[in-house]
Structures are given as C-alpha cells and as structure tokens.
Structure 1
C-alpha cells in the first residue's frame, strides 16, 4: 500500500510540476511578448480552461496523496524512509498546492475581473506576469522536489 502511495504521489507531483515548468519555461514568456490586451485575454482563457477534470484531478488527487504521505510518515516515523515521505508530502501540499492558493489564484482572480482591452489591464499585465512567474517557479520547484523525495523513499 505504501509503495502505491509513493508511486502515485511521485507521478502526480511530477506531472503537476511539469505543467508548471512549461508555464515557467515558455508559456508565460510567449504570453508576455504579446500586446497586453492579447496576453491578458489569453491568460484569462487559460485560467478558465485549466479548471477541467484532467488537470484538477491530477492537482487535487496529488494533494490528497501528499496529505496521506504526511500522515503515514508521522505514523511510521521510526522507519528509515519516513523523512523522505514527509518531505514529499509537505513539499507538494505546502509548496505546490499552498503556493497556488495563496499567491497564484488571487492574481488570476484579479486578472479575471479586468477587461483585457482596458488601460488598467495594460498596467497590471507586466506586474501580473512578473509576480505570477515568480510564484510559479516556487510551485514548480516544490512539485518536482516532491517527486524526487517520493522517489528517494524507494532508494533509501
């Protein structure tokens, strides 16, 4: 049972971290190079379309798995793999999910309220891109680090 928990946590964290990596490495750079109205409109659509069963399933199921990792690690704390399991769970739950909810989602919500063609959107767009990418780098690193820690549970 623990092996399946670790496997699916690693796969989920790597998948979500990979999606965020794509945004950090090229998606946001491409959107930032568009005129503000087009970049804002595109990101507004992305923020709507991302709420789908495939992505949200991976994102939320991995959260549940990461919480289970924390619980199992605490219950089996004397086991040699518990620290890696705890790290995998916390990195995803706090660093990926938590950062998303506290830092990226509020920026997305603010962007959603703007008319893409407005002067206000044009002023906010570069601020949004800079701040959103910073926090996206954090959640990308946390997701991928979570996957690595889950993998290390098997190697220790």
Structure 2
C-alpha cells in the first residue's frame, strides 16, 4: 500500500496540506483576536495530528509490517487479521479528523467572508 501511495502528486497534496496547516497555525496564534481564528487553529491541529500524525504514526507502520510478510503463510494470515482490525480503527480516526478539520477550516473561511 505504501508503494502505491508514494507518488509525487499524492505526497505533494498530503504533505503540502500539512505545510499549509503549519503556516495557518502560526497565523492563527499571531492573530488570535480576529473572528474565526479559533476555527483555523482547531482545523489545522486536527489535520496535523489527526490526519498526518495518525498516518505517519499508525497506518504507515502497519502497512510496512504487512509488506514484509508472505501473504500465504500462517504468519501472514495472523498478521492480516490483526492488521485489518487495527488499520481500520486508525483509518476511521484519520477520516473523522480530516472531515472535522475540513469543517473547521470551512467555518473559518465563512467567518472571514462575513
């Protein structure tokens, strides 16, 4: 899985969004008193921790462990059962964080436009 995900377009979008969130986080700390800035802060943190962080800390290591095992072996079958349960939990957390980050950043944009 990590092999197909590591391509220039995906990595630019995934890590580029993280870089933008770091800039937005710094901006939100400097402009804390402005309307909607709390939503920028929350949205950026949700993406950085809940999406990028979870991917790096949990999903990628699970994928790497799975890639090292022979799929047809007994060990492969055991690992797959464990992998599927763990990866799915972290993927749901990552998806919820991404959705919440997008919602928070959208609300921030609406505050800025008003």
TM-score by length of 2: 0.92
**Distance in 1 between the 2:109 and 2:67 partners?**
43
1:99 alignment counterpart: 54
* Structure 1 unmatched ranges of 5 or more: 1-45
Root mean square deviation, CA, Å:
0.9
SS of residue in 2 equivalent to 1:115: coil
Aligned residue pair count: 111
Say which structure, 1 or 2, has more relative contact order (CA 8 Å, 6+ apart). Answer: 1
2:30 alignment counterpart: 75
* Structure 2 unmatched ranges of 5 or more: none
2:106 alignment counterpart: 151
The C-alpha deviation readout for 1:87-121, integer Å capped at 9, x for no partner, is 11000000000111111111111111111221111
The C-alpha deviation readout for 1:22-55, integer Å capped at 9, x for no partner, is xxxxxxxxxxxxxxxxxxxxxxxx3211111121
TM-score by length of 1: 0.69
Tell me by how many angstroms 1:154 deviates.
2.1
**Distance in 1 between the 2:2 and 2:10 partners?**
12
**Distance in 2 between the 1:112 and 1:82 partners?**
42
